[in-house]
Amino acid sequence: MKINVAGIAEESFSDGPGIRCVVFAQGCRHRCPGCHNPETHSFSGGQWIHIRDVLRLMEKNPILDGITLSGGDPFEQAEGFGALAELTKRHGYHVMTYTGYLFEFLLEHREEKGWGRLLAWTDVLVDGPFDLGRRFPPSKFRGSSNQRIIDVPRSLASQRAVTQ
Ligand code: SF4
């Protein structure tokens, strides 16, 4: 399966815990004022890459702890990025995903939008749009203070507990 990417940072120390490969999805609907990656907004640019080639790239670097799916918004290509999240997670990598959507919205629409797989294979989600007015104080892994760092497995487990 292929995904459309704006770029890949093969080794990052600032996009999640530990040392990570960062994959930037091409395409984003949120258009947050002050976005640091406006070149990722268009759905017509980017480069298509097979998810197995992303894994091969990661496996060349033995010090990597995980993968960060950023953007753009990976949830706009949820099928491909969900497959990438599953593939890398099954190979022992920690998966962190950024999105401009709120977690509750993703959960509510996970069936019809196909967001469930990407959610299910994400360890940590950073959600919500970048808010230029709330960008200070700078916060680890977040662009603005409205964004949340969510432990997805724990949140999904508590959701299940509530609905059972
Ligand atoms: S969601 Fe992220 S990539 Fe999209 S416009 Fe907002 S800050 Fe930029």
Distance CA 1, CA 52 (A): 8
For 106, phi then psi, to 5°, come to -60, -45
Distance CA 70, CA 56 (A): 19
Distance CA 54, CA 66 (A): 12
CA of 37 to the centre of ligand 1 (A): 7
DSSP 87-146: HHHHTT-EEEEE-SS-HHHHHHTHHHHT-HHHHHT-SEEEES---GGG--S-BTTBSSTT
Q: DSSP class of residue 64?
A: -
Average pLDDT across the chain, whole number: 94
Domains and CATH numbers, the chain: 2-163 (3.20.20.70)
- Residues ≥6 apart with Cβ < 8 Å to 39: 6, 45
* Mutation test residue for ligand 1: of 26, 28, 40, 41, the one with most atoms within 8 Å of CB: 28
Q: DSSP class of residue 74?
A: G
Q: What is the pLDDT of residue 46?
A: 97
Mean local confidence (pLDDT), 74-88:
98
Indicate the pLDDT class of residue 78, thresholds 50, 70 and 90.
very high
Strands of the sheet with 148-151, listed across from one edge: 47-50, 2-12, 20-25, 66-70, 94-98, 124-127, 148-151
Tell whether omega for the bond before 72 is within 30 degrees of 0, i.e. cis. yes
Indicate the pLDDT class of residue 29, thresholds 50, 70 and 90.
very high
Q: What is the pLDDT of residues 117-139, one digit of tens each?
A: 999 999 999 999 999 999 877 67
Please tell me the residue having the least CA distance from ligand 1 atom 1.
100
21, burial (CB in 10 Å: exposed 0-12, middle 13-18, buried 19+): buried
pLDDT above 80 (res 14): yes
Distance CA 92, CA 65 (A): 8
pLDDT above 70 (res 162): no
Q: What is the pLDDT of residues 43-68, one digit of tens each?
A: 999 999 999 999 999 999 999 999 99
CA of 87 to the centre of ligand 1 (A): 25
Tokens representing residue 103 in the block: 């977690």
CA of 129 to the centre of ligand 1 (A): 6
